[in-house]
Homo-oligomer: A and B are copies of this chain.
Amino acid sequence: MENNYLEHPVIKNILSRKSVRKYSPAEVEDEKLEVLLRCGMAAPSGKNVQPWELVLVKDRAMLDAMGEGLPYAKMLADAKAAIVVCAVEEKCDYWYVDCSAVTENILLAAEALGLGAVWTATYPYPERMQVVKDVCCLPEGVVSLCVIPVGYPAKEYNPRDKYVTDKIHRDKF
């Protein structure tokens, strides 16, 4: 497909985002982490309720504890930080929808800033959500969608091409 809009930096970034699971020893700048948080909170939400709460974890022991407790988040052992995307459950019946938009914003911002990140799900798995609740001391009624480990990529990653024309339908399905 020849299409000049594919060269737009925002579009390129969306198409370049990848799940990065190996991190270099380089520290991550606090200024970048703050931008990730800010981008997360710029997400849309149903009725603009903004049910989210974000936990920025930099404490080494906490990162390691989550990495040990979560089956698909072992890379936290090498991550320099993690953002836990949470919500106040009673604010919205479908908090996980709003928080998914928050998560995607954070992942795209990480890609833009040269960072590596990956969505490791805690919702809808009660045992994983409990691990995060315990480690991060989430109060009653605060639930987590995912943990996003963050670091600089340890190697070069290539994005997957997931464009599948069969999944596009024109007017009628």
Size class of the A contact interface (CB-based, 8 Å): 35 or more
In the complex, are the beta carbons of B162 and A105 less than 8 A apart? Answer: no
- Kindly state whether residue A126 has any CB partner on chain B within 8 Å: no
- With an 8 A cutoff between CB atoms, is A142 at the interface? yes
Q: Which of A92-135 contact B (CB under 8 A)?
A: 93-94, 96-98, 100-101, 103-105, 107-109, 111-113, 119, 121, 123-124
Whether A10 contacts B96 in the complex (CB less than 8 A), given A31-B3, A43-B104, comes out as: no
Q: How near does chain B come to A119, taking the closest CB pair, in angstroms?
A: 5
Interface residues of A in 131-160 (CB under 8 A from B): 136-139, 142, 145, 159-160
Number of copies: 2
Please determine whether B5 and A32 come into contact, CB atoms closer than 8 angstroms. yes
Assess whether B162 is in contact with A107, with CB atoms less than 8 Å apart: no
**Which residue of chain B lies nearest to A1 when distances are taken between CB atoms in the complex?**
B34
Q: Give complex CA distance A107, B108 in Å.
A: 13
A14 to chain B, nearest CB (A): 5
Binary contact track A42-66/B, C-beta < 8 Å → 1, others 0: 1110101010111111110010000
Q: In the complex, what residues of B have CB within 8 A of residue A97's CB?
A: 96-97, 100, 121, 123, 145
Q: List 25 A-B contacts (CB under 8 A).
A: A1-B34, A5-B31, A5-B113, A6-B38, A8-B112, A10-B108, A11-B112, A14-B105, A17-B42, A19-B44, A37-B168, A41-B167, A48-B160, A53-B169, A54-B168, A55-B171, A57-B171, A86-B173, A93-B124, A94-B121, A97-B121, A97-B145, A100-B104, A101-B119, A108-B108
